[in-house]
Structure 1
Amino acid sequence: MQWLFVLVVFVLAYILIISGKFNRSTVAFAAGIIILLSKVIPNFDMKEIGFLVDFNTIGILIGMMIVVGTLRTTGFFEFVAVHVVRISKGNVRALLVFFMVTIALFSAFLDNVTTILLFAPVIFLVADSLEVSPRNFLLAGVLAANVGGTATLIGDPPNILVGSASGFGFMDFIRIDGPITLIALLITVVFLDRRVFKSYRLMGDKLQRLASMDPNKAIVSKSSLYKSLTVFFGIIAGFLLHDLIGVEPSLIALGGAAAAMILSGKSFSSLSEDIEWDTIFFFMGLFVLASALQQVGITSSISDLLGSLSGNRIILFLTLYWLSALMSGFIGAVPAVTFMIPVIEGMTAKYGVPMDVWWVISISACFGGSFSIAGAAANMVGVGLIEKHSREKLSYSDFLKFSMPLTIMTLAAGTAYILVRFSF
């Protein structure tokens, strides 16, 4: 009956996470501890924790958070944001489109949560200057961040998980996920411009004060900026070449973090606020839950069930795509991918399902995560920032009404892409 106990813990954890009444990272971490204390995993010893928790994923997250933290202190992101405002020349629609594209680009090379945290203050500044609610602007930014993060290994947590499990590298993600990300971004920008941005087209005169700001004044120290950018681009180069140099992405990210701290003179304690500890412990709890599901045979049963479709690759891929998308949308992209990884591993090993199946999960999870507040960490962070800044309550259904049409369109584009790319 061990499988029943694990399944009950798993389901209860996700009910509590979706309810929003408890901190999601606390719930996931506590569920993982309950699993370990229950001895469901036979002969487990804490010395073997590395077999349960994917420290390659954890290392990438912590390393990139530290590097972004050092870069943030230089004023670089404010510098970029002010330039975007000036480029628009008072055209609000152009400004918002620039913001969406910029946010998507940054999300690809940072991560969507960090990008939203960095750009939210500027979005609020623009909304306050226009004397309108920031809700639509920041929600649009969240959706653009989720799309942009799909393009690379480090852009969205589901991709970090997929990359670690599959062995695919940074360039593989750009090569496979990059094209559909560009298509989805175009759909996102056009849709948001027609549905949201056009209603602000006559407010350009209110942006004159922002447009007159000097972006160079945002830079705290040019020397620190150059050092931080050198480290950042060095990490990206390392990701691109990691197959050739034989170094795992996590070591590259952590090495870059060490270099960034040495060059900036920062310590772990001074950068602790830049590390999203909730995300780290959320991942750790989920890894233990996923391992328990695998140990008691639940994931292998699902692998066998889906493996019966392996005779028709297209039907299998589309079934996995929409199953993963719906799970990602309503229980969260990270939990969905964490659950699906052992299922996919079982299918590739036992039924000879091609490795292309990993891209199905990557695309569907990243796009599907935009469905609801619970779908992605960036969604929850964005909603929290809106409520804190403007004191307006944003319900689950409010987010769903804003996000669902666009999410369905991007998922449909992803479906067509998979049919074209992997059916021959």
Structure 2
Amino acid sequence: MTLTHVAALAVFVGAYVLIATERVHRVAAALGGASLMLLLGLTDGQAAFYSRDTGIDWNVVFLLFGMMVIVGVVKQTGLFEALAIHAAKRARGRPFAILVMLLVITATASALLDNVTTVLLIAPVTFLLCERLALPVTPYLIAEVMAANIGGTATLIGDPPNIIIASRAGLTFNDFLEHLLPLVLVLMVVLIALCRWLFRGAFRYHPELVAEVMALSEREAIRDRRLLVQSLVVLALVLVGFVLHPVLHYEPSVVALLGAGLLVLVSSVTVEEAIADVEWETLVFFMGLFVMVGALVETGVIDELAGLLVDATGGQLVATVLVLLLASMVLSGVVDNIPYVATMAPVVAALQQHGGGTDHVLWWALAAGADLGGNATAVGASANVVVLGMAKRYGTPISFWEFTRYGLIVVAACAVVSVPWFWVRYLA
């Protein structure tokens, strides 16, 4: 390991420790780390701002921005209040039944859209539900993020790393459904059971509050019907654009920006009102994080880790699959899974060609490990960071360790299920 590698790792680990311990604001830590990477020459402006592999992922940033604008406009219609009332009524106010309903909806939507878009849409409903029923919102938000990351594993478009893997390996939408959807269904059952145990103190039933909610009317919660119609039409167009990405070839960020611009243009909402709910801190935090992780790629630190992975397996298929699966879970909980998968893709392609087994098993191990491992820490996946930013904005901040102590348990459970799953299906 060279001095450059040591310097890049030192800056990244230092910034990560500051984020984890919350000694300084996470945005300050991320920007400080990014600045040091640039100052020490570990990356440069070209790599940080323009490179697809080592720079800021502007697709993620503008996808978030566009969807935040759309969600901010929809929020003014009263739709989220109406959905919260409807969900509470369907579950008859029972807290755990509400959680199960939200988790199933979140996982399904994440598979069809993507996990970031899903949590942006489901979180406002969750805040209102918990407020109405006097429930602690933190357990519901954490569980929903984990369901979003697990659900997104099932399809080609559910999580950005899957798109990279599909492109590199020539895999189709149906391939992901065939190989990863069954595993995801099992993991969702495990997640629901874990939530019943992990958050057992959060399911307090308040009969008087439930009675009040049951007496509410969903129709009366809608404040602006004209804006609601406009918002739903634009939102439907955006969702169709996401689903048809393999056909239209428009990036999700472009679709989200077009939708946000169209909604502001056709509605009576002012620009100031439209951007009032944009989580600027979250966007800036992502930029700093992308620069730091990009510097690890640029300096070859990620390549070194990939090489160690190859050396550790000794070329044996069983060892390669299991080490790749578990190492991906660990690493994607620390660094963003997009540059990690982009870096590992050539390595996996080479391994697959030289005794990589059948059914693209190494690709499925990489996809499952990278997608599921994002649940491990508060910064392990984009959806995690977005929800933590929204929670702070709503006045119920979730600390790094509050999220991570649950995330580590969930990822460990996913590993316990995934290892025998891969063994039985591909290796036995």
Shorter chain as denominator, the TM-score bin is 0.7 to 0.9
Counterpart code for 2:256: A
| Cα distance between partner residues in 2 of 1:404 and 1:336 | 16
In structure 2, the CA distance between the partners of 1:346 and 1:9, relative to structure 1 (3 Å rule), is farther
Q: 1:212: how far off?
A: 1.1
Which residue number in structure 2 is paired with residue 118 of structure 1?
124
User: 2:41 aligns to what?
Assistant: 39
Alignment of 1:91-170 (within 5 A): 91-106=94-109, 109=113, 111=116, 113-115=119-121, 117-128=123-134, 136-151=139-154, 159-163=159-163, 167=167
SS in 1 for 2:315: coil
Residue of structure 1 aligned with 2:58, choices 55, 58, 67: 55
Q: What is the CA–CA distance in structure 2 between the aligned matches of 1:291 and 1:389, rounded to whole Å?
A: 31
Normalising by structure 1, report the TM-score. Answer: 0.78
**Cα distance change of structure 1 residues 88 and 10 upon mapping to structure 2, 3 Å threshold:** closer
CA deviation map 1:25-59 (0-9, x unaligned): 33223322322233334794888466623323333
Kept in 1, the 8 Å contact 2:279–2:389? The answer is no
- Partners of 1:337 and 1:211 lie apart in 2 by 43
Aligned partner of 1:311 in structure 2 is 315
Maintained 8 Å contact 1:169/1:240: no
Indicate conservation of the 8 Å contact 2:49/2:56, yes or no. no
| Letter of the 1:408 counterpart | A
**Cα pair distance change 1:250/1:93, threshold 3 Å:** closer
For residues 328-352 of structure 1, the C-alpha deviation after alignment (integer angstroms, 9 at most, x for no partner) is 44x3xxx242552353034146545
Q: Is the 8 A contact 1:163 1:169 kept in 2?
A: no
Aligned counterpart for 1:412 among listed residues 405, 408, 416? 416
Distance (whole Å) between structure 1 residues aligned to residue 11 and residue 38 of structure 2:
12
Alignment of 1:322-401 (within 5 A): 322-329=326-333, 331=334, 335-338=335-338, 340-348=340-348, 351-352=351-352, 357=362, 359-373=364-378, 375=380, 396=401
Pairwise CA distance, 1:175:
6.1
Query: How far off is 1:17 after superposition?
Result: 1.8
Stretch deviating more after TM superposition (301-310 or 255-264): 301-310
The aligned counterpart of 1:22 is: 24
Residue-by-residue CA offset, 1:341-373 (whole Å, 9 max, x unaligned) = 353034146545677655434433443343455
SS in 2 for 1:89: coil
How many percent of aligned residue pairs carry the same amino acid? 27
Residues 400/349 of structure 1: CA separation in 2 closer, same or farther (3 Å cut):
closer
What is the rounded CA distance, in whole Å, between the counterparts of 1:201 and 1:39 in structure 2? 54
TM-score, length of structure 2 as denominator length:
0.78
CA distance in 2, matches of 1:346, 1:95: 43
2: CA distance, partners of 1:253 / 1:170: 22
Q: CA deviation at 1:179?
A: 3.7
3-state SS in 2 of match to 1:274:
coil
The more displaced of 266-275 and 182-191 is 266-275
How many matched pairs?
Answer: 413
> 2-side partners of 1:324 and 1:229: how far apart?
38
SS at match of 1:262: helix
Q: Which 10-residue stretch deviates more, 95-104 or 78-87?
A: 95-104
Change (3 A) 1:104 1:242: closer
The separation in 2 between residues aligned to 1:198 and 1:16, in whole angstroms, is 30
Per-residue CA deviations over 1:184-239 (Å, capped at 9, x if unaligned) read: 22222244346756995875465111111101122222332222222222222222
The answer to whether the 8 A contact 2:348-2:363 is kept is: no
How far apart in 2 are the matches of 1:243 and 1:305? 34
The whole-number CA distance in structure 2 between the counterparts of 1:151 and 1:171 is 10
| Contact 2:136 2:202 (C-alpha < 8 Å) held by counterparts | no
Contact 2:30–2:289 (CA<8 Å) still a contact in 1?
A: yes
How much does 1:102 deviate? 3.5
Determine the C-alpha separation between the residues in 1 that align with 2:129 and 2:276: 22
Distance in structure 2 (CA, Å) of the matches to 1:389 and 1:238: 30
2:11 and 2:33 in contact (8 A); partners too: yes
Query: How big is the shift at 1:82?
Result: 0.7
In the alignment, the residues of structure 2 paired with residue 416 and residue 229 of structure 1 have an alpha-carbon distance, to the nearest angstrom, of 43
Change (3 A) 1:73 1:390: closer
- When residues 408 and 165 of structure 1 are mapped into structure 2, their CA distance, relative to the original with a 3 A threshold, is closer
Question: Is residue 38–residue 45 contact of structure 2 (8 Å, CA) maintained in 1?
Answer: no
Residues in 1 aligned to 2:394 and 2:60: alpha-carbon distance in whole angstroms: 32
Equivalent residue for 2:261, pick from 253, 258, 261: 258
Which shows bigger deviation, 291-300 or 350-359? 350-359
Structure-2 separation of matches of 1:323 and 1:228: 42
Q: Structure 1 residue 85: deviation in Å? A: 0.9
CA shift at 1:20, angstroms?
1.8
- Residue 273 of structure 1: CA displacement? 3.6
- 1:138 to partner: Cα distance: 4.9
How far apart, CA to CA, are the structure 2 residues paired with 1:262 and 1:422? 52
Query: Is 1:81–1:122's contact at 8 Å kept on the other side of the alignment?
Result: yes
Equivalence for 1:189? 192
Q: Give the Å deviation of 1:16.
A: 1.6
Match of 1:321 in 2: 325
Moved more, 27-36 or 91-100: 91-100
Name the CA distance, whole Å, in 2 between partners of 1:275 and 1:12. Answer: 29
CA contact under 8 A between 1:69 and 1:274: conserved in structure 2?
Answer: yes
Tell me the distance in 1 between the aligned counterparts of 2:201 and 2:47: 59
- In the TM superposition, residue 86 of structure 1 has moved relative to its aligned partner by 1.0
Q: Which runs of 5+ in 1 are unaligned?
A: none
RMSD: 4.0
Post-superposition offset of 1:417: 4.3
Shift in Å, 1:317: 2.8
Question: What is the CA–CA distance in structure 2 between the aligned matches of 1:339 and 1:207, rounded to whole Å?
Answer: 46
Q: Which residue of 1 aligns with 2:227?
A: 224
More displaced 10-residue stretch of structure 1: 27-36 or 41-50: 41-50
Q: Choose 11-20 or 386-395, whichever is displaced more.
A: 386-395
